[in-house]
Structure 1
Amino acid sequence: MPSISEKGKHMPASPIRKLVPYAEAAKKRGTHVIHLNIGQPDIKTPKVALDAVRNHNIEVLAYSMTEGSETYREKIAAYYAKKDIQVTAKDIIVTTGGSEALSFAMGTIMDTDDEIIIPEPFYANYNGFATAMGVNVVPIASSIESNFALPPISDFEKLISEKTKAILICNPGNPTGYLYSKEEIQQLAALVKKHNLFLIADEVYREFAYEGRQHYSILQEEGLENNAIVVDSVSKRYSMCGARIGCLVSKNNEVVQTALKFAQARLSPPTFAQIASEAALETPQSYFDEVIAEYASRRDILIAELRKLEGVKVAVPQGAFYCVVELPVVDADDFAQWLLEKFEMEGDTVMVAPAAGFYATPGLGKNQIRIAYVLEKDQLVKAVQILGKALKQYNN
Structure 2
Amino acid sequence: MLRWPSLHRPLDVLFLVTCVALTADVLIPEIWGNGKTKDYPLWFWAGQQVLQGRPLYPGDPNAYFEFIYPPLPAILLAVPSWFGKIPLYLVLSLLNAAAWWITSQLSNAMAGSGRVPDTWVAALPGFITLTFVFDMFDLGQPNLVLLAMMLAGFWWLQHGRALAAGSMFALATAIKVFPVAVLPWLVWRRHWMAAASMVACTGILLFLVPAPVRGFERNVAELSTWYRGMVGSSSEKGFGQRDAQNWSWVNQSIVAVTHRLTRPINWRQDDPAQPPQTMNVLDLDFATANRVVIAVFLAIGLGFIAVLPPPSKLTARSNAEELGILFCLMTIASPLSRQYYFMWLFFPITVLIHRAVYDPRPAARAATWIVLVLAGALMCLSLPLFPLYLQAMGNNLAATIVLVAGLVWHIRRPPLANDNVTNAVN
TM-score (structure 2 length as normaliser): 0.34
Q: Report which of the two structures shows the higher radius of gyration computed on alpha carbons.
A: 2
Higher helix share: 2
TM-score (structure 1 length as normaliser): 0.36
Higher strand share: 1
* Structure with higher RCO (Cα < 8 A, 6+ apart): 1
